[in-house]
Amino acid sequence: MNTHATKPTLVLGGTGKTGRRVVERLTERGLPVRVGSRSGKPPFDWDDQATWAPALDGVGSVYLTYYPDLALPGAVEATRSFAELAVRSGVARLALLSGRGEPEAERAEQAVRDTGADLTILRSTWFMQNFSEDYMLDHVLSGEIRLPAGEVPTPFLDIDDLADIAVEALTDDRHVGELYELTGPRSLTFAEAAAEIGGAAGREIRYTPVSLEQHAAELADHGVPPEFVDFLTYLFEEVVDGRNADTTDGVRRALGREPRDFGDYARQTAASGVWNASAVSAQGRDDG
């Protein structure tokens, strides 16, 4: 065991999609963990620098995830300032969640590298769990995934794999200095992903490609804030354009096993009930 592992690990976004899984895994290993989010104790807020030092007090390592996205204005500067403060506070090891094919995310990676801390970079493609734990869940429940993603294939990653790698990076010296480019084992178009989800859920789920402008208008109609509309437009225009369609060996390099397949994710998620008809009618009641 490393000396820093006897001190708590601060897991930023520790109630979110990847952070929650990292917290669970560290806790299962009996390692001390602190959740870094606005609901944490003490609270951590990216928008309130006064919360950063108390959250870092006594911490030995950090799972560093920025919210909402490293590609947004101000994210690189905030990540740099936070990482520098972390190192000054005695943090020896960082695992950084980064985004694949995003120049701004690569600037954030360099800013964190510049601190000189032991660093592992997890540069991830789109998460499979965006279909079940994020805004694409509403599309699935409605039976129609309407996105400006054309016919571009994406090698979706299962974030259970990502969380396994984050925990290894935080606890095992052999990952220090590694940059893991992370994808699942297969690239799927959104039409193929919709068909696999529909097959597993036992309902018809179709994909309808829409233009960037139409998507932005539909988001605005649903009350999504303008800066988030701009961000999603950037994402579909710049990141989902085919340049990130290939798969990588990142999961195998990090864990010595193959990444989980979209079909397994779809079957397991369907069995949890999150996509089933009662979830649809419950959502209708909540909306109404």
Ligand X SMILES: NC(=O)c1ccc[n+]([C@@H]2O[C@H](COP(=O)([O-])OP(=O)(O)OC[C@H]3O[C@@H](n4cnc5c(N)ncnc54)[C@H](OP(=O)(O)O)[C@@H]3O)[C@@H](O)[C@H]2O)c1
Complex with ligand X: residue 127 or 207, whichever CB lies closer:
127
Exactly one of 2, 24, 32, 45 binds ligand X (CB under 6 A); which one?
45
> Which residue stretch of 16-24, 145-153, 191-199, 216-224 sits at the interface with ligand X (rule: CB under 6 A)?
16-24
Q: Are 148 and 91 in contact (CB under 8 A)?
A: no
Closest CA to 123 of 160, 166, 75: 166
Q: Name the residue with the smallest CB distance to ligand X.
A: 16
> Which residue stretch of 45-53, 204-212, 216-224, 261-269 sits at the interface with ligand X (rule: CB under 6 A)?
45-53
37 lies in the site for ligand X, by CB under 6 A = yes
107 lies in the site for ligand X, by CB under 6 A = no
27 C-beta neighbours (distance < 10 Å), count: 11
65 lies in the site for ligand X, by CB under 6 A = yes
Exactly one of 7, 8, 10, 18 binds ligand X (CB under 6 A); which one?
18
Complex with ligand X: residue 54 or 202, whichever CB lies closer:
54
Residues in 75-104 that interact with ligand X by CB under 6 A? 97, 99
Distance of CA 166 to the CA centre of its chain: 12
Complex with ligand X: residue 61 or 129, whichever CB lies closer:
129
**Shortest approach of ligand X to residue 137 CB, angstroms?**
12
Exactly one of 67, 228, 231, 234 binds ligand X (CB under 6 A); which one?
67
> Which residue stretch of 63-71, 168-176, 253-261, 267-275 sits at the interface with ligand X (rule: CB under 6 A)?
63-71
DSSP bridge pairs for 121? 96, 179
> Which residue stretch of 62-70, 189-197, 198-206, 226-234 sits at the interface with ligand X (rule: CB under 6 A)?
62-70
127 lies in the site for ligand X, by CB under 6 A = yes
Residues that bind ligand X (CB under 6 A): 13-19, 37-39, 44-47, 65-67, 69-70, 97, 99, 124, 126-127, 130, 134
